[in-house]
A and B are shown apart, each in its own frame.
Chain A
């Protein structure tokens, strides 16, 4: 089995490569395609790994890869606190 990259959503390296092969060209697109980076830690662990895979697969330089967007709340909180 391909190794897990996003631990929160249990998304493997192969699934991320598949997302890129299907046309995802930014980390945000990979996120929307595969859910990688969308879990509890919001990419705090796998963000860089995904950026590296994208760089390797597409030839884009790491410095030109835009991080996936950050949104409020930046910490996991109860829904009741969002008012």
Chain B
């Protein structure tokens, strides 16, 4: 059985950042990804990133991806592509299938789960017709595979994914006939929202899609107004001719592997649903299993990269590659950078949810202490970041 010090599941922004930190510290790392190229969602993100300069603001996602790949290569990090993790256990054994043809079993000392998220869907009449798809899927079709998903598009959801993908659909030559938002207010960043609005795309707040109409393919969408209790308003239906309905209605953390390995969870609606409880080192309730990026709560690629680094540094530290003083310094620096990203109108809300996860972790530590049970499995690191058993 192959043995690695750190195995990272997912070669997206979080996974690659984690791998780079582990390799820099000197650990033997393996990164596994199901896709045929690394980079996760970065390579379809042709828009410029937000934040400050130190968070690569103003740089397009694809170029950030290229940078991460270059570093990964320079550090000679082993990456398995077309490889699916089918299972993992609390003892950190991992079952992988390569090219859907061969099973492998490997043993890790530390695992960092950076599996990302899946797109949400909302079921409505006709949603199984060809032409109804996730907005992220449409983005992959157009930006990675150069296929335009449709000519006349209805976007459901006005969050960042909805407005960014709408704009890119326009750039690619499609017509976006409207962006629907069930809530009374729009959900995306002002910059992206205004750009789409300036291009002439109408927004419909308080509207949702009632059904997709068509025989073999979407031919029209019936939309309907919602009242303040989210009930449909009778008689407000209207039919809009479209060939594609894109759903940008949020993401769900892809938690299956964390679940299999016995991590404990908490439910946070704002983080996308059930998320693995973790501490400020990104370690879950299973000692030696870390999470980073969207799987630990839906945020953005920029925060995913910082969380990846944080998890990478923590894993390297627990393997003895850093002394406590050095680790403390690096971890505090990562937290400074993370806090910079989690501020402002949108960021602060995410910070509050992320803080809830950390509070949950501490509550569990307390509860385990009070109940006088055996020490909680994942709790050997002192929460103040000073001491750690090896």
Q: Are A48 and B120 in contact (CB under 8 A)?
A: yes
Quick one: given A3-B123, A48-B252, A62-B269, are A74 and B85 in contact (CB under 8 Å)? Answer: yes
B294 on the A face (CB < 8 A) = no
Interface string of A53-83 (1 = CB under 8 A from B): 0000000001110010111111101100111
* Supplied contacts A69-B259, A72-B260, 16 more A-B pairs, CB within 8 Å: A3-B124, A44-B118, A46-B121, A46-B123, A48-B273, A49-B123, A63-B269, A67-B274, A71-B260, A73-B95, A74-B87, A74-B256, A74-B260, A75-B34, A81-B86, A81-B101
- Contact with B100, one of A64, A69, A72, A77 (Cβ below 8 angstroms): A77
Interface string of A1-17 (1 = CB under 8 A from B): 00111010000010000
B346 on the A face (CB < 8 A) = no
Number of A positions contacting B (CB below 8 A): 28
24 CB < 8 A contacts A-B: A4-B128, A45-B121, A47-B252, A48-B120, A49-B121, A62-B267, A63-B267, A63-B269, A64-B267, A67-B255, A67-B274, A70-B259, A72-B95, A72-B260, A73-B87, A73-B95, A74-B256, A74-B257, A75-B34, A75-B97, A77-B84, A77-B97, A77-B100, A81-B101
Nearest A residue to B258, CB-CB = A70
Residues on the A chain within 8 Å of B84, using CB: 75, 77
Residues on the A chain within 8 Å of B101, using CB: 81
Q: Give the interface size bracket for B toward A.
A: 20 to 34
Interface string of B99-123 (1 = CB under 8 A from A): 0111100000000000000101111
The distance from the CB of B23 to the nearest CB of chain A, in whole angstroms, is 27
Residues on the A chain within 8 Å of B4, using CB: none
Residues on the B chain within 8 Å of A7, using CB: 128
Q: How far is the CA of A74 from the CA of B368 in the complex (A)?
A: 31
B125 on the A face (CB < 8 A) = yes
Residues on the A chain within 8 Å of B103, using CB: 81-83
Closest CB pairs A-B (n = 7): A72-B87, A73-B86, A63-B267, A70-B256, A74-B256, A70-B259, A75-B84
